[in-house]
Structure formats: structure tokens, C-alpha cells
Chains A and B, each alone.
Chain A
């Protein structure tokens, strides 16, 4: 067996997508016209699959913050904070997150993926027990797997199923870790966090929530679904990313436990990688200020989400969940999903094509992610494109 055996597996995935004539790897955004529109294949295309929830990637204040940081601190940090030292901007952003959440501890990481990996690899060790939602993101599974801990899945969003699995752990449930997300990125549904947290606490387990897709979108002040669920004072670790609402690159973890700071000495994805660049930190910081100062951004994305959800529902499409910043259209087969994805591109609309195993439970999805930067006129064009795509289909997906 050669290490090149895996090439064949990966080529099979690529060929499968090419066989459907729907390889997302071939999508190149040649030129941006706005946060929500780019040239793809020489055609102006509405972007409704980029997770640019607040549309801040072209915000003048965010851009200027990044440019100023580059001029003041340079283009890169060229190494890890443990080796090269921290920039004052790293510490300032951590302090801002801690203040925002009213907690003693915050850490920033170089990507959202590394945030969960960094937290889990540092917290857990072989013999520890983790119970996670079955729809959890790959970085959560990967963090658990690399840590060597024993991890078990509970049925998606099912607090009673979580209770059953914690009970099976017996005495080991106490001190175990329960993991959920706020908004699930594929189906666009939200977790019953108050119920899950109550079950975790009943067994003496720790509770971690990944707010990658829900930060800045949920909660009165934008602190995510934990704020909306009223559990900020009970959840032990909250993680999030800069690469969605915060229009940058990186991630954060906040905790009511001051011991979070100890992770700087034991988290390999924190220690052995370059720290976030000055521009990444500065743009995330400026976007965080916008989250706090401009609640109208949150209102806009919700208005757009409701308009798109209502429009697609009105056409008879089967949607995976109620209105949220992620609206997933369920399609009966991956062949049909690929055909529609291509037809939407021809109509000048870019959505995410999700085929098994990327989506849970064998689903094929056309996933839309809304932005505060979308106009109602763009939303209406997206709905019209979905209508034409359906009308032109040999096998309609409408219920």
C-alpha cells in the first residue's frame, strides 16, 4: 500500500462532481462588484452562498482599519505568538471580546477551524468523554478525534437523546463535555440550547457552543444564540469565527472560566501556527465594533432572510428549516441538485451545492446564505431565478 492510494479516492470525489458537471472547485469570482455580487464566468452573479452575513467585507471602516493596520504593523506576523510574541492588536481584540461577553477570558485563533481544533485538542485527553450533536461541523469531530477522547453523538437537536447518552456514561458523565452549535450551517436550523444546557448541567457536564453561524445574528446585542437562549452565564465555552459576520479571517473563544488562558500553553493549533495577521485582526475588530454600533445590520439580514424564505416557500420549494440566515432548499437527488445549481449559475445566482456526505442524513441541498448587504431587488431576482429553474426542470422539486 502506497501513500498515493488516497489520490485515487480523492480523484473519485472530483470525478463524481465532474460527472454531474457541477464541480464547485471550478467557481472563480473574477471580479467583485459589491459584497453580494461578482463576475463569475464573465457574468454578473448575485452571491447568495458566501456566509457574508453582515455584508461588511467592503465596509469602508473595515477596509480602512485593515489598511491602517498593514501600514502600522506590516503584512504578516511571520510566526506564532508563543515564539514571536503578540502584537498589541491581538491582545486588544481579546480584551474587546471579553468585555463584549462580560467574561474574564478570551482567545483569538488563526482560523475558525483552528479555534475549535485548538480548544478541543487542549481541553481533552484520552479517557475523557464527549457527547456532541450528530450534525456538528467537521472541525468539532476532528478536534475530538485528534484529542484521543471517547466521543459519542446524540441525535440532532434532541435534548432527551442527549440525556439518554449521558446516562449511559454513568459516573463518567460528570466532567464530560457536551457540544452543540448555535445555527447549523447546512440545514439552517437552530439548537434548543437552553434545553441542552440544562441536561448537560444536570449531569455535571461542561457545555460548549460553537456560534460560527449565529454570532452577530442572534441575541439582543448580537452575542449569538446563547444570549437569545439566556444561558450566557451557564455555558462554559463559546467559540466563533471571524470569517462570516466579522468579514475577516480567524476565530475566537470566550469563557466564564479564567483558566481558558492556560490554553495558550497547551493548544497545539494555537502554539504551532502563525498568529492572525494585523489586517485580519484589525478588520475583525472593526467589524465587531459595527456589530455593537449598528443593530440595523442584523435587522437587514433578518428582513432579507424572511423575504427569501417566503419567496421560495411561495414557489412550493421544500425548505429544511424556518427563516434564518441559512436557507436550504431540499432537492430529491444529487443529480437534480447539480442540474439546478448549474441552471441558477446560468441565471446569475450563486448558491452552495451540497451533496452527501457533506450534508447530514443523505440530503442534497441548494444552500443559500443571506447577507445584510443584499437588496430586496436582489432577493426578488434570486426568487425569480429559482422559479425559472423549477419551471425548466423535467422533474420538479416542488411539493
Chain B
């Protein structure tokens, strides 16, 4: 099972395509404020993450998630539930 740190590294890969990600990616990077991800970017990102980990990530959950670390923790939780 992927650790939270491994998930964070995987997320860096997903986020690298966004223009503002260059040189900014860290566990405490804020998805909206630091990377300027809008609602459409976030939705597309979640769909890809869902497929990668074979989990369901509710879009409404994003209201409580600000940073990459928080997203990784949620993914880890859902992966564990699935297992």
C-alpha cells in the first residue's frame, strides 16, 4: 500500500503540467492559492487521481482540502478503506 509520502510524490507528477507548479511543489503547497488551480482544473485532476488509485474522490471533499499533504492523506485513507 502506498505511503502518504509516496502519494505526495505521485501527486507532484500529476501537478507538474500546471504552469505555476514549476519550483513550487511541496507538501504544504496550496492547490488553489499557490498553483491557481480553478474548479475545472481540480475536477480534472481528481478524475485522474481516482483512476490511478482506483478510488472514488468526492468533489465535495475538496472544500476541506487546501494543501497537497491534505489531499495525499485523504487518498491514503480511501486507498486503505478500499483494501
Partner of A165, one of B38, B44, B56, B60: B56
Q: Tell me if A134 and B56 are in contact (CB < 8 A).
A: no
**Complex-state Cα separation, A358 to B47, whole angstroms:** 19
Known: A134-B47, A165-B50. A152 touches B59 (CB 8 A): yes
Interface residues of B in 51-70 (CB under 8 A from A): 51, 54-61, 63
Provide the residues of chain A in CB contact with B56, threshold 8 Å. 150, 152, 165, 168-169
Query: Does B83 reach chain A (CB closer than 8 Å)?
Result: no
**Complex-state Cα separation, A141 to B47, whole angstroms:** 15
Provide the residues of chain B in CB contact with A357, threshold 8 Å. 38-41
Query: Does B21 reach chain A (CB closer than 8 Å)?
Result: no
Q: Tell me if B60 and A153 are in contact (CB < 8 A).
A: no
Q: Tell me if B58 and A152 are in contact (CB < 8 A).
A: yes
Known: A168-B50, A357-B39. A152 touches B57 (CB 8 A): yes
Partner of A144, one of B40, B41, B60: B60
Q: Tell me if A151 and B58 are in contact (CB < 8 A).
A: yes
Query: Does A145 reach chain B (CB closer than 8 Å)?
Result: yes
Provide the residues of chain B in CB contact with A148, threshold 8 Å. 60
For chain B, give the interface size range.
Answer: 10 to 19
Provide the residues of chain A in CB contact with B54, threshold 8 Å. 168
Interface residues of A in 114-171 (CB under 8 A from B): 134, 141, 144-145, 148-155, 164-165, 168-169
| B83, chain A: closest CB distance, angstroms | 14
Provide the residues of chain B in CB contact with A145, threshold 8 Å. 59-60, 63
Partner of B47, one of A144, A153, A169, A362: A153
Query: Does B11 reach chain A (CB closer than 8 Å)?
Result: no
Query: Does A356 reach chain B (CB closer than 8 Å)?
Result: yes
**Complex-state Cα separation, A237 to B25, whole angstroms:** 44
Q: Tell me if B59 and A153 are in contact (CB < 8 A).
A: yes
Partner of A134, one of B38, B44, B61: B44
Query: Does A104 reach chain B (CB closer than 8 Å)?
Result: no
Which B residue's beta carbon lies closest to that of A131?
B56
Which B residue's beta carbon lies closest to that of A136?
B43
Provide the residues of chain A in CB contact with B47, threshold 8 Å. 134, 153-155
Query: Does B15 reach chain A (CB closer than 8 Å)?
Result: no
Q: Tell me if B59 and A151 are in contact (CB < 8 A).
A: yes
**Complex-state Cα separation, A356 to B39, whole angstroms:** 10
Query: Does B46 reach chain A (CB closer than 8 Å)?
Result: yes
Chain B: residues with CB nearer than 8 A to chain A? 38-41, 43-44, 46-47, 50-51, 54-61, 63
Q: Can you give 29 contacting A-B residue pairs, CB < 8 Å?
A: A134-B43, A141-B59, A144-B60, A145-B59, A145-B60, A145-B63, A148-B60, A149-B60, A150-B56, A150-B60, A150-B61, A151-B58, A151-B59, A152-B50, A152-B56, A152-B58, A152-B59, A153-B46, A164-B51, A165-B50, A168-B55, A169-B56, A357-B38, A357-B39, A357-B41, A360-B40, A361-B40, A361-B44, A362-B40
Q: Which 6 pairs of residues, A with B, have the shortest CB-CB distance?
A: A150-B58, A357-B38, A357-B40, A168-B56, A151-B59, A153-B43
**With A357-B40, A362-B40 already in contact, 16 other A-B pairs whose C-beta atoms are closer than 8 Å:** A134-B43, A144-B59, A145-B59, A145-B63, A148-B60, A149-B60, A150-B61, A151-B60, A152-B56, A153-B46, A155-B47, A165-B50, A169-B56, A356-B38, A361-B40, A361-B44
